[in-house]
Amino acid sequence: MYLRRDEVEPERRTSPLALRISILTGLAIAIFSVLFLRLWYVQVLSGDKYRTQANDNRIREIRVQAPRGDILDRNGKVLVANRTELAIQVTPQDLPPPGPERSRELKQLATVTGMTMKEIRKTLKGGSRAAPGGPVILKKGLGVDKVYYLRENQSSFPGVSVERVFTREYRQGAIAAHLFGNVGEVTAEQLKQPRYAGLHPGDQVGQSGIEYEYDRYLRGRPGMDRVQVDALGRPTGQLRSLPPEPGDDVRLTIDSNMQAVGDGALQSFGLPGAFVAMNAQNGDILAMGSAPTFDPSIFTHPITQGEYRQLTSEKTDAPLANRAIQGLYPTGSTFKPITATAALEHRLIGANTIFNDTGSLKLDDNLTLHNAGKAVYGPIDMSDALKVSSDIYFYNLGLKAKASKGHGQIQDWARKFGLGEKTGIDIPAEVEGLIPTPAWRNRLYAEKLTDRPWSAGDNVNLAIGQGDLTADPLQMAVAYAALGNGGTVLRPHLADDVESVTGRVLEEIQPAPRRQIDISPATQNTIMTGLTRAAMEPGGTSYPVFGNFPFAVAGKTGTAQRPNQADQSWYIVLAPAKNPQIVVAVTIERGGFGVDTAAPVAARMLERYFHVPITPAASASTAGQTQE
């Protein structure tokens, strides 16, 4: 018997509840699978990565700055060292989140520090740090009372701490301020330079002067602290510390006592100027200063725009300028020994040739030149001309000297002596100066930057250190040293050696001379004799200052004319006159005659160097005495 299928198998119907259960079960299995796979990925495949990140969240590495090395004078006296001072430091990530609570804390900090809210926010955003990755230094030089207040109320100042930080200390005040330079945070541009390889943002480096030139020795090696912190970034313990290595010391060639004498003598006139005292045989700088000066400690704290303007303004005579290596000045008659060398070596005149100085020289129908004070010296030779500083004698040499294109007999010898180029001294920002030539002036004329081309009058002016000639005291000191030592053009230097903190010499600094120039013994003897007579014989231009000096020196005065200013005073001296040990070059803006202001400064420095008492001035009433 045949049965239908629906009679054999009862009807199967799926209820709505069963369907929902099936769907939910499927979703649960899918979600569980996703979670399982994610956990498997995080814990198994990426476990090491997240374990490292977790450790980084609770371990903070802080770079610890090394104390910079000291700067010493030639006798080991400390000139620049480190001192510690209390500073308020803020760790921005540990401050309360932006809102009323953070504003309250910052207002309290403003009251404690004396800063405005704007200044605080600006400092927190871009201020210097105690170390890269470390807290921001908000304020240095904290008083003890404020330290106690902050520590007693530490709970009210999360993220704020009081720590000791290193600051440069200048033991001699403003003495030699232009030489040391300053220290500051390495810039983004500097980090791209090879000399700063391995440094990080926030590292402190020398930014000028000796601090810049010898930064690689002075800055040392930073250390590292690994500190464990809690969820709020607060330290809970120190895990490991790599101490910093202090920087090495740099010993200078400077004699701090002589430096102090030079600074004091120069500043006593209250006028801008500069001096250089240098060993005439090896280029050691014994003293170098510039006036007006400044307190170098001003750069240990953030400097305001007003303070910077005071340091650079013409109204204050720009105290920040180092006139010893940046002063662009006509040299006046101190240039005459260079003209004399060119004239004798090129045989424009003989050492004993008599020239009749009538007191005037007619250049053309419209211009007649005269000696200073309209003096008339009559028949004189080269030695006489240097002794009395006869302008007419040297004007005549300027007319005789050849000059064409980029050369000239006087110009070429000026370059040989080192003028018109940097001396290579071991501090930055030195200038070159200018030796004018026909090619230089004619190019300016073609470009309509001057009113006339080169003429014979330019060479006449150059012969006595006037016109377009510019040089600085260091260049003139190097030139005179070459004359005194027989033709060695030295490379002056301020650093003597690099020493470890225990005093062991790590590196001696003895730069080789730049070149040797051929000056005949006869030429050298003639010029040195004239300069000695200028200082030691009655009638010599600096006899009133050096006539009673205990031994013979060779010196030359200069009174340079500058547009729209009073005359500039110059004096350069080699001592002793035979086999000179030292050369001193001094210039004083608006100082008038060289014998009146610059020469006395040089005399005080020589007295200190040779340990002789202050020398009484010689009588200036001798017949024939002129001032220059």
CB 333 within 8 A of CB 558: yes
| Candidate from 216-230, 256-270, 298-312, 468-482 with smallest mean pLDDT | 216-230
pLDDT of 130 reads: 53
Collapsed DSSP state (helix, strand, coil) of residue 184: strand
Most confident of 201-205, 304-308, 392-396: 392-396
CATH no. for 61-252: 3.90.1310.10
Collapsed DSSP state (helix, strand, coil) of residue 63: strand
pLDDT of 381 reads: 98
pLDDT of 622 reads: 47
CATH 3.90.1310.10 placement within the chain: 61-252
**What radius of gyration do the chain's Cα atoms show?**
37
CA angle 518, 519, 524 (to 5 degrees): 160
Token pair recorded at residue 339:
């003209």
CA distances to 256, 259, 478 from 269, in Å: 21, 16, 25
The architecture that CATH gives domain 256-305+322-610 is: 3-Layer(aba) Sandwich (3.40)
Neighbours of 359 (CB within 10 A): 16
Token pair recorded at residue 307:
């303070």
Is the pLDDT assigned to residue 6 strictly greater than 70?
no
Is the pLDDT assigned to residue 586 strictly greater than 70?
yes
User: What mean pLDDT is reported for the chain?
Assistant: 88
| Candidate from 132-136, 411-415, 490-494, 541-545 with smallest mean pLDDT | 132-136
Collapsed DSSP state (helix, strand, coil) of residue 546: helix
Q: DSSP readout, 365-408?
A: TTEEEE-GGG---EEE-HHHHHHHT-HHHHHHHHHHS-EETTEE
How confident is the model over 412-431, as pLDDT tens digits?
999 999 999 999 999 999 99
Q: Which residues, other chains included, contact 126 with Cβ-Cβ below 8 Å and sequence gap of 6+?
A: none
Q: What is d(CA 235, CA 99) in angstroms, rounded to the nearest whole number?
A: 24
| Candidate from 31-35, 40-44, 492-496 with smallest mean pLDDT | 40-44
Neighbours of 379 (CB within 10 A): 9
Neighbours of 44 (CB within 10 A): 8
Is the pLDDT assigned to residue 51 strictly greater than 60?
no
CATH 3.40.710.10 placement within the chain: 256-305+322-610
> On the CB side of 5, how many CA atoms lie within 13 Å of its CA?
2
Higher-confidence residue of 27 and 455: namely 455
